């Protein structure tokens, strides 16, 4: 099963508390040992508390700051994690802790700040290659996440026309509720960590299965299933029924450590108006020490199968989705992995199959999405699963979205999420709640991905696209309005000067102030100069794609000059900079865009370059003293003013 309790989405979680009084009497060494032991046990809340106490004793150790950031992130304390990752990044400059950028990107993505998240993923991608990180695939993941940020913005601007309902406190509480499934549109089964038998906060809460009657579609008073299902010492969850409701399968789980659990599937048969005591399914479904959970019946190529999630050997990595054929005698055949289109190196969970559309719905934290786990579907044909399609926003959010399923008549969809608005006890976004939305008979299906529409949308997202220059470049000390250089050449020349910028701007400063000045330069080149070039390359790739579809594209460019010296020279300099950008497009891929420039072919693509008047920047306090090069040339405040922009892109005649 998958729930979230105060800390993070895991395969099942517990409530627990750690007394803090003893922290004050412990030595730094003892606190550190206990912090590391808590991390090893995946007790992230406890680890964060111990690391926090360590930092009170000694905050000078970068490795301690990073450990606290890691524990806080895994404990869903994103603001704390961000603060300490950023602190490490500024101090370390990516030398020993390059993954700060990746995790800062993930936190920003969770917050829905996709543009800033992308900058962090790009930062890791451009950092000096580490062989171990390369082997583990971190650079590939950063590149994938960078593209996912673009797709997330597209999905936010092309929302699915549904209205998401957050079920009220009849069902949802301050702990986790999830895995809602309707039985004959008359009863709603779901799982929850609420446990009325707890005597005090230090007692363990056990996850249980509940049922609520539905009256006109609205859940009424809930009831806990009997001890045949919610048996002592087990966490019970993940209810599913076969087509005629004669079988019910659930998960029962036991603790592996503070955050992970091993689950097994149990089957109950409906006989003489009651459910039999659930029996554990034998091999090959359940295997010793293997997590097997989240069952769902479906039909693959006319055969009834049982889908489930498992970390058994032979998978693609993490939790995978598998299915076993249901044999004529009611037993289950050898499990089959759903394959590399569905399963990934990370986790795929909570499968649900829609028989009439042959779609397998599932959640993944690997395939490109809005953040955390997103819901996808893959169409199944001849035992082959197609490339998954993201179901879109607002069904998916920047948080975890799992347990998608529809009722039998297809009128309602349920899902579980820890998105904004979910109830919580002490920490935002700690816990899953149950959400749903209505489907009308004429509701449009999830649209297939339109690559041209996406490309056009992404081009607009990239605008305004800002590009930066070294002082008096290109072609210093001339009044010409054109240049033979293209922007990529000026960019390469510019970043080659970064060591000089670091030296000049930090010259004469004391230790802390010097570090601050050097960080400002590093961040300007990474977050502004490099990002601008990357965005331009992506813009060109997208431009090529839409031109081949016959689009007319108008690109509007604007140069800037400083109001401190608004002379003809500066105006001509701004024009040279625009000229360098035009040259970039004309030289791109050995002139691939040349035939499209001002083309008059009615059926072919066309580029129209449009320049607007040279713009003045707002009044600046940046030094214009040519003798004060530290502030007039090498200061990041001066550098940010030396720019041009693509200020607009439009399509059609």
Instruction: Give the chain's count of helices (H) and strands (E).
Output: 16, 30
534 — pLDDT class (breaks 50, 70, 90): confident
Q: In this model, does residue 600 exceed pLDDT 90? A: no
* 26-30, 154-158, 486-490, range with greatest mean pLDDT: 486-490
Query: Contact, 632 vs 565, CB < 8 A?
Result: no
Q: In this model, does residue 23 exceed pLDDT 50? A: no
pLDDT on residue 31: 92
Percentage of the residues of the chain whose pLDDT score is greater than 70 = 90
Give domain 11-157's CATH number out of 3.40.50.300, 2.30.30.40, 1.25.40.10, 1.10.3720.10. Answer: 1.25.40.10
Enumerate the domain spans of the chain: 11-157, 165-449, 452-651
Counting every residue written for the chain, the total comes to 653
- Give the whole-angstrom CA distance, residue 325 versus residue 641: 65
Across residues 37-46, what is the average pLDDT?
94
What is the CATH number that goes with domain 165-449?
Answer: 2.120.10.30
Better pLDDT: 536 or 599: 536
- Give the whole-angstrom CA distance, residue 648 versus residue 653: 15
Using one digit for the tens of pLDDT, what is the confidence trace for 426-437?
A: 677 778 999 999
Percentage of the residues of the chain whose pLDDT score is greater than 90 = 64
Query: Contact, 310 vs 316, CB < 8 A?
Result: no
Across residues 471-485, what is the average pLDDT?
93
pLDDT on residue 565: 53
Q: In this model, does residue 619 exceed pLDDT 90? A: no
Q: What is the 3-state secondary structure (H, E, C) of 244-288?
A: CCCEEEEEEEEECCCCCEEEEEEEEEEECCEECCCEECCCCCCCC
Across residues 117-131, what is the average pLDDT?
87
- Give the whole-angstrom CA distance, residue 624 versus residue 640: 14
pLDDT on residue 236: 94
Across residues 394-403, what is the average pLDDT?
96
Q: How far is CA 332 from CA 119, 122, 335, 352, in A?
A: 48, 47, 8, 18
- Give the whole-angstrom CA distance, residue 107 versus residue 111: 6
pTM: 0.77
Using one digit for the tens of pLDDT, what is the confidence trace for 234-252?
A: 999 999 999 999 999 999 9
């Amino acid at each position: 099963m998958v729930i979230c309790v105060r800390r993070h989405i895991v395969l099942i979680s517990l409530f627990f508390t750690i007394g803090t009084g003893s922290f004050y009497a412990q030595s730094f060494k003892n606190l550190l040992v206990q912090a590391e032991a808590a991390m090893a046990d995946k007790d992230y809340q406890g680890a964060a508390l111990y690391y926090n106490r360590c930092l009170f004793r000694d905050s000078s150790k970068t490795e301690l700051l990073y450990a606290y950031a890691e524990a806080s992130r895994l404990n869903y304390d994103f603001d704390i994690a961000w603060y300490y990752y950023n602190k490490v990044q500024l101090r370390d400059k990516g030398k020993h802790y390059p993954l700060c950028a990746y995790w800062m990107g993930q936190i920003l993505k969770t917050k829905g700040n996709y543009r800033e998240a992308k900058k962090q993923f790009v930062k890791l991608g451009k950092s000096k290659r580490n062989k171990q990180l390369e082997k583990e695939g971190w650079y590939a993941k950063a590149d994938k996440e960078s593209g996912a940020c673009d797709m997330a913005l597209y999905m936010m601007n092309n929302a699915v026309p549904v209205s998401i309902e957050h079920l009220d406190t009849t069902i949802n509480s301050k702990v986790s509720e999830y895995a809602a499934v309707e039985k004959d549109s008359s009863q709603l089964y779901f799982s929850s960590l609420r446990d009325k038998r707890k005597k005090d906060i230090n007692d363990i809460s056990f996850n249980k299965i509940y049922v609520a009657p539905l009256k006109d579609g609205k859940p009424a008073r809930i009831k806990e299933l009997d001890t045949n299902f919610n048996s002592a010492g087990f966490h019970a969850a993940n209810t599913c029924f076969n087509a005629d409701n004669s079988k019910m399968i659930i998960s029962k789980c036991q603790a592996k450590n503070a955050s992970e659990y091993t689950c097994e599937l149990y089957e109950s048969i409906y006989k003489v108006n009651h459910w039999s005591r659930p029996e554990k399914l034998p091999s090959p479904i359940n295997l010793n020490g293997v997590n097997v959970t989240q069952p769902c019946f479906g039909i693959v190529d006319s055969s009834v199968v049982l889908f489930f999630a498992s970390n058994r050997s032979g998978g693609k990595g993490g939790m995978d989705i598998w299915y076993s054929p249901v044999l004529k005698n009611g037993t289950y055949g050898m499990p089959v992995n759903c394959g590399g289109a569905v399963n990934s190196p990370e986790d795929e969970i909570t499968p649900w199959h829609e028989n009439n559309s042959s779609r397998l719905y599932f959640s993944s934290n690997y395939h490109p999405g809005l953040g955390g786990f997103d819901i996808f579907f893959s169409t199944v044909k001849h035992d082959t699963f197609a490339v998954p399609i993201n179901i879109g926003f607002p069904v998916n959010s920047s948080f975890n979205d799992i347990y998608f399923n529809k009722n039998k008549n297809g009128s309602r969809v349920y899902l579980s999420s820890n998105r904004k608005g979910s109830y919580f006890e002490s920490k935002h976004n700690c816990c899953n709640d149950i959400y749903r939305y209505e489907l009308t008979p004429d509701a449009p299906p999830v649209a297939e991905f339109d690559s041209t529409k996406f490309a056009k949308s992404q081009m607009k997202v990239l605008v305004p696209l800002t590009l930066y220059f070294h002082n008096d470049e290109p072609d210093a000390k001339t009044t010409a309005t054109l240049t033979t250089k293209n922007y990529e050449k000026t960019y390469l020349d510019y970043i080659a000067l970064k060591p000089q910028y670091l030296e000049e701007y930090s010259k004469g400063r004391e230790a802390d102030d010097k570090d601050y000045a050097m960080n400002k330069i590093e961040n300007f080149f990474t977050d502004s100069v490099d990002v601008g070039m990357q965005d331009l390359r992506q813009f060109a790739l997208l431009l090529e794609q839409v031109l081949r579809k016959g689009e007319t594209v108008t690109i509007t460019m604007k140069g800037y000059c400083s109001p401190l010296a608004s002379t003809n020279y500066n105006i001509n300099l701004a024009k040279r900079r625009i000229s360098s950008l035009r040259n970039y497009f004309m030289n791109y891929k050995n002139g691939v865009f040349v035939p499209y420039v001002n083309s008059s072919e009615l059926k072919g693509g066309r580029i129209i370059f449009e320049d607007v008047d040279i713009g003045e920047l707002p009044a600046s306090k940046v030094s214009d003293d040519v003798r004060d090069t530290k502030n007039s040339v090498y200061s990041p405040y001066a550098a940010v003013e030396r720019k041009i922009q693509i200020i607009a892109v439009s399509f059609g005649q």
